[in-house]
Amino acid sequence: MKKVYDSASEALDGLLHDGMLVAAGGFGLCGIPELLLAAIRDAGTKDMTFASNNAGVDDFGIGILLQTRQVKKMISSYVGENAEFMRQYLSGELELEFNPQGTLAERMRAGGCGIPGFYTKTGVGTVIAEGKEHHDFDGETYILERGIVADLSIVKAWKADDTGNLVFRKTARNFNPPAAMCGKVCVAEVEEIVPRESLDGDMIHLPGIYVHRIIQGDHEKRIEQRTVRQREEA
Amino acid sequence: MPWDRNQMAARAADELEDGWYVNLGIGIPTLVANYVGDKDITLQSENGMLGMGPFPFEGDEDPDLINAGKQTITELSRTAYFDSAQSFGMIRGGKIAMAILGAMEVAENGDLANWMIPGKLVKGMGGAMDLVAGVGRVVVVMDHTNKKGESKVLKACTLPLTGAGVVDRIITDLGVLDVTHKGLHIEELAPGVTREQMIAATEGTIV
């Protein structure tokens, strides 16, 4: 079964439809599926819901789909870096469901693991708990959170083999594995597709069973906040 | 003289014990890393890293290596990377001994508000709700009063909560307060700060 496609638009062919739920990997602008997001923009898919920790910045990441009004709703933990997001949200054009970051990650992981819901202490006594089932275990109160199963997952990895085994690099792993796991279909973009034997089976971060289509491409990998320290004088 | 930002961070660093895994929030808590001294402390960054190093030298920035504040950082010889679900698994699972974070408001019962001002700024809670619910001990480091001079240590929070009854200790420019079942207990006063000054600057009940 061929998993490797030539371009992002080919890899998404037949997978996009209006009103769909997409789970996207990435944290800030780190490890985001930038090529697939651009292809979704070009495809013009409308009324999309994105489960993604952040919403990118105005002109990069999911931000490019906000500019084109393709996103109806975001499920995110933090959206502070995006002025267009704020404008659309405050004017009521864009729906927003805040999830605590760990709850969002676990909702994705659970959804991919066939777990429809789980109890967590996170958010008990806050607005996040409103309307959710509460249950006490061993004297502590927990709330019920639902697993997420997305119509499509889009993720970014460092390397893949042609069977879809993925290796991530440093903190660019972040939400990519749980996002990949929770999709009915997962498309991964990578910096390099390598021969099978060059990936050590003990070092695979996400097995190819979760990955259905793969593309290789050039990534901008933009830095959101460049912080440095001074070199000491020799 | 009340403590300045660096003195507050240094005082917060005294809370850390050798061998601990710790999560530091943005702002003054980030400065705590400068004062850990000889203690063996491993810093967690909740975007998926244990063993966070300092900022890189100019030219060494790596877009794949950032902290939870999205700043470029470096790794250490002990560094381990993992995904967000595992990261918050170790937070929720109580493996992180302490979180040191900033706050907009703290109440005498340990309620914490640091993520949202209704009608104003809607940025999101990020990982703050998970951290305060999951880690072993929560220490807040913040200025005692806001820019208008109003107390940030309250009888009850007015802003939406990040967590209910989650704060164990509050370190401010005026000193150190512990959250107890009876109210706030003065653990320490900054040099030159009197008990009366602390009480006057605190809306919450000091016992």
A143 shares contact with chain B (CB less than 8 Å): no
Identify whether the C-beta of residue B73 lies closer than 8 Å to the C-beta of residue B45. yes
Inter-chain Cβ pairs, chain A and chain B, closer than 8 A: 181
Rounded Cα distance, B206 and B177, in Å: 9
Query: Residue B45's beta-bridge partner residues?
Result: B49
- Are A30 and B64 inside 8 Å of each other by CB? yes
User: Who has greater pLDDT, B42 or B119?
Assistant: B42
What average pLDDT does the segment A12-17 reach?
98
Rounded Cα distance, A70 and A88, in Å: 12
| Pairing state between β A152-160 and A48-51 | unpaired
Sequence-ordered list of residues with C-beta below 8 angstroms from that of B95, at least 6 positions apart, any chain: B21
Q: Hey, is B25 helix, strand or coil?
A: coil
Closest CA to A213 of A172, A178, A138, A163: A163
Residue in B81, B92, B163 nearest the CB of A171 = B81
- Are A174 and B162 inside 8 Å of each other by CB? no
Taking a contact as any Cβ pair under 8 Å apart, which residues of chain A between 150 and 209 contact chain B?
158, 168-178, 205
Query: Residue B170's beta-bridge partner residues?
Result: B140, B177
For residue range A150-189, what is the model confidence (pLDDT) as tens digits? 999 999 999 999 999 999 999 999 999 999 999 999 999 9
Query: Residue B52's beta-bridge partner residues?
Result: B75
In this prediction, residue A213 carries a pLDDT of 98
Handedness of CA B183, B185, B186, B187 (dihedral sign): negative
For residue range B113-147, what is the model confidence (pLDDT) as tens digits? 999 888 776 789 999 999 999 999 999 999 999 99
DSSP secondary structure of A89-127: HHTTSSEEEE--HHHHHHHHHHHHTT--EEEESTTTTSG
User: Who has greater pLDDT, A24 or B118?
Assistant: A24
The encoded tokens of residue B140 equal: 């807040």
Residues of B in contact with A125 (CB under 8 A): 111, 161, 163-165
Residues of A in contact with B49 (CB under 8 A): 170-171
Q: Residue B83: what are its φ and ψ, rounded to 5°?
A: -85, 175
In this prediction, residue A233 carries a pLDDT of 62
Whether residue B187 lies in the annotated active site: no
Residues of A in contact with B85 (CB under 8 A): 102, 105-106, 108-109, 177-178
In this prediction, residue A13 carries a pLDDT of 98
Identify whether the C-beta of residue B68 lies closer than 8 Å to the C-beta of residue B46. yes
SS3 per residue for B99-140: EEECCCEEECCCCEECCECCCCCECCCCCHHHHHHHCCEEEE
CB atoms within 10 A of CB B30: 17
Rounded Cα distance, A198 and B137, in Å: 44
Is the pLDDT score of A210 beyond 90?
A: yes
> What is the separation, in whole angstroms, between the first and last Cα of chain B?
23
Closest CA to B3 of B185, B116, B134, B171: B171
Angle (CA) A69 B128 B170, round 5°: 145
Identify whether the C-beta of residue A146 lies closer than 8 Å to the C-beta of residue A107. yes
A123 shares contact with chain B (CB less than 8 Å): yes
| CA within 13 Å, CB half, A161 | 16
Identify the structural domains of chain A with CATH numbers, from first to last. 8-110+149-216 (3.40.1080.10)
Identify the structural domains of chain B with CATH numbers, from first to last. 5-200 (3.40.1080.10)
Q: Which residue is closest to B66 within chain A, CA to CA?
A: A171
Is the pLDDT score of B33 beyond 70?
A: yes
- pLDDT tier for residue A15 given thresholds of 50, 70 and 90: very high
In this prediction, residue A18 carries a pLDDT of 98
The encoded tokens of residue B105 equal: 């408001």
In terms of residues, how long is chain A?
234
Task: Give me the amino acid identity at B107.
Answer: A
Q: How far is CA A9 from CA A16, A32, A160, B66, in A?
A: 10, 17, 19, 29
Sequence-ordered list of residues with C-beta below 8 angstroms from that of B13, at least 6 positions apart, any chain: B32, B34, B35, B36, B37
For residue range A103-145, what is the model confidence (pLDDT) as tens digits? 999 999 999 999 999 999 999 999 999 999 999 999 999 999 9
In this prediction, residue B123 carries a pLDDT of 87
Query: Residue B169's beta-bridge partner residues?
Result: B139, B178
CB atoms within 10 A of CB B146: 12
Handedness of CA B203, B162, B90, B172 (dihedral sign): negative
Is the pLDDT score of B200 beyond 80?
A: yes
- pLDDT tier for residue A234 given thresholds of 50, 70 and 90: low
What average pLDDT does the segment B57-70 reach?
96
Residues of A in contact with B73 (CB under 8 A): 227
The encoded tokens of residue A36 equal: 């697939």
Mean pLDDT, rounded, of chain B: 96
- pLDDT tier for residue B86 given thresholds of 50, 70 and 90: very high
In this prediction, residue A1 carries a pLDDT of 81
Rounded Cα distance, B139 and B33, in Å: 14
Task: Give me the amino acid identity at A226.
Answer: R
Judge residue A189's burial from the number of C-beta atoms within 10 Å of its C-beta, 0-12 exposed, 13-18 middle, 19 or more buried: buried
Identify whether the C-beta of residue A195 lies closer than 8 Å to the C-beta of residue B21. no
What average pLDDT does the segment A194-213 reach?
97
Taking a contact as any Cβ pair under 8 Å apart, which residues of chain B between 83 and 142 contact chain A?
83-85, 87-89, 91-92, 111, 121-130, 133-134
